[in-house]
Structure 1
Amino acid sequence: MEAHKIIVAIFILALASSLTFASDPSPLQDFCVAINDPKGSVFVNGKFCKDAKLAKADDFYFSGNTYAVAFAGLSSENPGVITIANAVFGSNPSINTDILAKAFNLDRKMVKNLQSEF
């Protein structure tokens, strides 16, 4: 009977250890160095990117006009402007004050004040 328990324990350990070696077949990529030539590149989120193993520090340096680059690369005419506050505190119909107070760790009076600004 003791041997039966040992065999069951080994089986459970073997089953559990096989799960620890599982991994995502397509892990996320932390960055994408844009590349025009699709040959020898990686396709990430709809863009052709340089293979991460071939990236160099010079790929992340740009000495030109950064505004002309931030404007072309962003979908907003005002890069850096955050409009979430308008959507949250200025929504119509308004979001319940208690919910906003809890979500942003504010008191109800402060939430009412923020909502009145919009």
Structure 2
Amino acid sequence: MKGVEFLVALVLFALASKLASASDPSPLQDFCVAVNDTKDGGVFFNALFSLNLHLRSIFVSTDRVEVSKLAKADHSWHFSCSNYAPYGGLNPPHTHPRATEILVVVEGTLYVGFVTSNPENHLFTKVLYPGDVFVFPVGLIHFQFNIGHTNAVAFAGLSSQNPGVITIANAVFGSDPAINPDVLAKAFQLDKNIVKQLQSRFWWDNN
């Protein structure tokens, strides 16, 4: 009898695992009223008042990209504007674990691309001009590179109030504490001294 009960439980567990799915949670509220002062009233968001949105500017000197983004992403989206320096301005390979990104170029020329997951690891790339749109699927490694001789400007919208960002070089070679060089030497088929040299470099903060 116990064997039958175990078998039934196993079948139910298998069915439940097939039906289960995972995704970002729904937005925590339908809307957010921006106020200049909490005394003016307004709507709580995650137990905090939603104040007027403002832009936060980050200048990345090593990669020559200036990113302005909403300091608060109060709904199920995130928005940014990036200014890429002439030829060489780079938003290096990175991922957004919780969001799909849609990029619209408004000025200049960008070479962009993303890599599919294992085992294909297929690279999709395109050169974008003003008015062009490109979508980077959620979680996939992607990049943007200015190949023009003038500044490039692009707007990006991401489908999560907290999309997250993982810059690959930062995570691999700039972690704190550092990953054991033997691990990276074997993973990237590099000399251990080269790995140590990469780990000693300054890796800019993309958060």
TM-score range, shorter chain: 0.3 to 0.5
Structure having the larger proportion of residues in strand:
2
**What TM-score do you get using the length of structure 1 for normalisation?**
0.36
Higher relative contact order (CA 8 A, sep 6+): 2
Q: Which has the larger radius of gyration?
A: 1
Higher helix share: 1
